[in-house]
Amino acid sequence: MIPTGHRRLILTRHAKSAWDDPAMTDHERPLNRRGLRSALELGEWLGSRGYEPDQVLCSSATRTRETWATVAVAPLEVTPKVDFLEALYHASPDVMLKLLCKATGETVMMIGHNPGIAEFAAMLVARPPSHPDFGRYPTAATLVVDFQIDNWKDLKPGTGSVLDFFIPSGRD
């Protein structure tokens, strides 16, 4: 539960994807075994901390969709509204900010790609977490950040308070 007058963002890079089929487009690449394990671990971690989104903004790529589907295997108290957005596929931080400012949920999970997701995370927080891999934002890395705003349209860069930063144990 987040305090009144706050909004929470769960910012996730997709889990590790497969490169097995050279004929497959980047957009179509699925998760590999390690990615599936990491996404499952991420879902368990989110659930254990009570970080449950009521809205999900997810890139339309196969690997981001599979990351969400695997994270969502963990029991959720609320069924979130899920939007698969082409605009999040390799989006820049500015595009991510515009999309987030249109969100309606109190706790929004955004699932995207590097390098944009790492740049967006750094842009949002007042003070970055001390984790040595925050700047690299490896696969399945997840930042949980609170903002003292009533509406996402009021979001300003550099105002987020970091609650958590998590990287599953089977990372790259």
Domain layout of the chain by residue ranges: 7-103+119-166
Examine the pLDDT at 162 and tell me if it is beyond 80: yes
Tell me the mean pLDDT in the region 125-145.
95
Q: How far apart are CA 160 and CA 7, in angstroms?
A: 10
Find the range with the poorest average confidence among 1-5, 87-91, 96-100. Answer: 1-5
Between 88 and 76, name the one with better pLDDT.
88
Q: 58: Cβ–Cβ under 8 A, 6 or more apart, which residues?
A: 64, 65, 67, 68, 82, 83, 84, 85, 88, 109, 110, 111, 112
Q: What is the pTM of this model?
A: 0.94
Whether domain 7-103+119-166 has CATH 3.40.50.1240: the reply is: yes
Tell me the mean pLDDT in the region 102-124.
97
The letter for the amino acid at 160 is G
**Residue 172 confidence (pLDDT):** 43
Between 44 and 21, name the one with better pLDDT.
44
Mean pLDDT of all residues in the chain? 92
